Structure 1
Amino acid sequence: MTNKCVIFFDIDGTLLNHDKELPLSAKKAIFKLKENGHVVAIATGRAPFMFEDLRKELDINTFVSYNGQYVVLNGKVLYTNPLMIPSLEKLTEAAIHNNHPVVFMDHEDMKANVPEHTYIKESIDTLKISRFPTHDPYYYKGRELYQTLLFCPEGEEKQYEQEFHDFDFVRWHPVSVDVLPKGGSKAKGIEQIVKKLGFPQEHQYAFGDGLNDIEMLLTVKNSVAMGNAVEKVKEVAKYVTKSVEDDGIFHGLQLVGLL
């Protein structure tokens, strides 16, 4: 196992291009990695039900979802880090007062606290998924939630950051912010997997492009930023590959010597 590695891939802007399509070169590269005995995993901010088709297409059963809050190893739940519900209730009350809708998310579904809102449609539509949040303002009761979406224009999340210290707020869309448990990250989720599998740092790799990938790319020794990544992400990565639109996964794996 000494020459085998574990490679974590973000989804949006990394595996999937702007049109939410998986480039053929990336698909072939993933299967070549597996053929060579490496462990291939996903590390995403998405909910598990948002990338079931991709997991099936790539035959991947190990993943870090919800930015590290729900981790699965070989098809079995390894680690969870749910939101603090009392604080979430208070945040939801403040959001209602500010006319900012929220969407509650567990490992199976997502529910909005309002029947409909343009911000929800505008941001969720960009994911190009078949499921859309339905209305259930009390979905947070009696269940573990791993992420909540707060919908507000850029900059308006600052008021929540100042008041709700049990959460981290990571913007992923001009009108939407991920609400995560304080200190939760893809890096923390990855830590659970590599600890279980026993891979040394030298044999750990990660590919990403967004702000929610920064801690992952800072923590994983062999980190690769996509060519389409934001500058802050490129600055923290060990390597920078080509854009996802330009066979970035394939070239990145060549760059680090895995292909």
Structure 2
Amino acid sequence: MAYKIVFFDIDGTLINEEKQVPQSTLEAVKRLKESGVEPVIATGRAPYFIQHLTEQLGIESYVCLNGGYAVYRGKPVYKRAIDRTSIEALVTLAAKHGHSLVFEGEHGYYADRADHFFITEAVTSLKVNLPGVDPDFWKNNEVFQLFLHCEQSEEHLYEELVQELTLIRWHTKAMDVLPAGGSKAQGIAAMLKELSLKPEEAVAFGDGLNDKEMLAYVGLGIAMGNSHPDLLPFADKVTTHVNEDGVKNGLVMAGLI
């Protein structure tokens, strides 16, 4: 079956540790578009974090917030907000343990406190502006994802919420918080339905723990050479490192360029 659409993770896939897009990736995505195959971003990042990247790559569609928000060529096709009762339970537990939260909405994101070291360290690593401060943001706005800031050794403190929320670590000081069972695959499924495409007609590239479901769901899942070891069992193929033409080589392996 011919592949018609390719979903790309951002950090560690489209961009390297310096948050730069390798020249070979820019050229490969351009060639992919010229061949008539649709490139789509699939990321844990929020839409307001990726505008510069979509412009640089000429990509018009994206699945953001780990599948919680999907847009196809400017049109929202899927939204998956987190239930407020689940957020309230997390807010209560985080306050008990002295951990900070960041609430990610559709158009902006806000921390529950100012100048927290863990927030600054984690968010700064993304090379984006720090969040605003509004501890009650979740009460009056849809929240599609949260950052929970704690050490890995403290994750067990949130085990009582596993029936309501999914926690995925992306930084030594931070985890993404999604609805239970949430993943990039959900947003991808919604976009494929919108386009009347089958999962078998899609390819996905990723490198992190939040890419497991995505790589397993599509017809061809490609892990980057710099991937987390736990991602590899979910991939059909493994390409080279992001800094070693990983995206280009993966697209060649898929027969797309």
Q: TM-score range by the shorter chain?
A: over 0.9
Alignment deviations for residues 178-205 of structure 1 (CA, whole Å, 9 cap, x no partner): 1101111101110011111122343210
Indicate conservation of the 8 Å contact 1:4/1:37, yes or no. Answer: no
Question: Which residue in 1 is equivalent to 2:102?
Answer: 103
2:133 to 129, 132, 135: 135
Q: Distance in 1 between matches of 2:63 and 2:243?
A: 24
User: What is the 5 A alignment of 1:106-255?
Assistant: 106-129=105-128, 131-255=129-253
| CA distance in structure 2 between the partners assigned to 1:117 and 1:74 by the alignment | 37
Q: Supply the distance in 1 between the matched residues of 2:90 and 2:138 (Cα, whole angstroms).
A: 12
Q: How many residues align?
A: 257
CA distance in 1, matches of 2:238, 2:3: 22
Report which stretch shifted further, 147-156 or 198-207: 198-207
Q: Which runs of 4+ in 1 moved over 4 A?
A: none
Per the TM alignment, residue 164 of structure 1 is displaced from its structure 2 partner at its CA by 5.0
Shift of 1:135: 1.2
Asked if residue 55 in structure 1 is aligned to residue 32 in structure 2, the reply is no
Which amino acid is 2:215 matched to? L
What is the deviation of 1:109? Answer: 0.8
CA contact (8 A) 1:107 1:146 kept: yes
| Secondary structure of 1:157 counterpart | helix
How much is the aligned-residue C-alpha RMSD, in angstroms?
1.2
Consecutive unaligned residues of structure 1, counting only runs of 5 or more, are none
- The alignment's TM-score, normalised by the length of structure 1, stands at 0.96
**1:35 aligns to 2:34 (yes or no):** yes
- CA displacement, residues 23-72 of structure 1 (integer Å, 9 cap, x when unaligned): 01101111111111111101000000011100111121211100000011
1:64 equivalent in structure 2: 63
Q: Confirm or deny: 8 A CA contact 1:87 1:164 kept in the other structure.
A: no
C-alpha displacement at 1:166, in angstroms?
Answer: 1.3
Distance across 2 between alignment mates of 1:89 and 1:201: 35
Q: Distance in 1 between matches of 2:60 and 2:159?
A: 34
1:161, 1:168 within 8 Å by CA — same for their partners in 2?
A: no
C-alpha distance in 2 between matches for 1:3 and 1:37: 12
Rounded to whole Å, the distance in 2 between the matches of 1:141 and 1:162 is: 22
Q: State the identity %.
A: 40
